[in-house]
A = this chain, B = another copy of it.
Amino acid sequence: MINIFDIARIAGVSKTTVSRVINNQPGVREDTRIRILEAIEKLNYIPNQAARSLVSRKAGVIGVIYNEFNTSVYLKLANLLEDFASRYNYNIVFSSSNDDFNSKARYVQYFTGGAADGLILFGSDTRDKELVQKIININFPLVLIENHFNDLKVNNIIIDNFSGAKSAVNFLIGLGHSKIAHITGNLNHRAASDRMNGYIEAINSSGIKYNKDYVIYTDAGDSSGAAAVERLMSLAEPPTALFTFNDLQGYEAVQRAMELGVNIPRDLSVVGFDNIYELLRFIPSCIRLTSMKQPMEKVAEAAIKLIIDNIDNRNTKPRVISFDTEIYEGTSCIEVI
């Protein structure tokens, strides 16, 4: 392997000078610089990343761990993170634990062991608590996105799921609905419980009587939306509106309801959460789901800013930043008649 010493020899200088050129430092005579650059080019020299990191104590890298790469709006977040990171001259690399806890621990060790200067943990998973605690213990720069632990002090970017859910339901109330159902996500996840609580808050504060039959508990798994809407529509007094934990459930519910002969939105107005519609706009769907949209760009920008602040100063006080959602109006809702 070609190393800095080879270049120094060929260019007839010391490796200190080569190092200066590699790092674009000033104080090298122009002809020396050119000679070195030529040697680098000629020998296809690439500086050893490990050696640089070891001595400079930085990797120039931000690591991101996803639970899974899936077809969701959060993929867009990855591109946005890359965008903002590159503006600050950081590389950013992503890994997925594929929902395996040991894999996640492996990647945490890899990144915190110096492969990255800071770590962004994306996505809600209660099992992460112990890992997060460990990262805090070693005072490693960390930002959590869409995850939250009440008793851990850590940089945190969250979506205001409570207010978002409340807005969604208030939107339905504004259309004249009062028989409004909710399909929950997995309540072990903060996002799900917050959205349910937002639903309850909107219902209660509007004077509508809370109807427990209108709340269907699910784990947000595959087909959870379909099964839930079946139960709802078979009630003696079915709801005229529905707020679902997320868009996947929402679309599933729409699909199943239509199969059951329910006209959307005439018989049932539906609001989802996440607004995955823009990912799918090319699909000839009969319905564009009305949904609460997350400000991904703001989330990405804030995440990169937080992590870089934390890298630059490991003693910054952990901050919690919350963003509001806004409604995207599709074709799945209509005023009650």
Contacts and interface: CB of A to CB of B under 8 A. Distances in A.
Interface stretch (A160-168, A232-240, A278-286): A278-286
B54 A137 contact: no
Contact of A82 (B75, B78, B93, B98): B98
Contacts of A283: 251, 255, 280, 283, 285
A108 B92 CA distance: 13
Interface string A285-319: 11100000000000000000000000000000000
B96 A95 contact: no
A49 B114 contact: yes
Interface string A81-124: 01100100001111110101001001101101111000000000
B96 A46 contact: no
A114 B282 CA distance: 41
B91 A92 contact: no
A327 interface: no
Nearest to A137: B44
A323 interface: no
Contact of A70 (B75, B93, B100, B255): B75
29 contacts: A44-B137, A46-B109, A46-B112, A46-B113, A46-B138, A48-B54, A48-B113, A48-B114, A49-B50, A49-B53, A50-B51, A50-B52, A54-B54, A60-B110, A61-B115, A63-B93, A69-B78, A69-B94, A70-B75, A75-B75, A86-B100, A91-B95, A91-B107, A115-B115, A248-B282, A251-B283, A255-B282, A280-B283, A285-B286
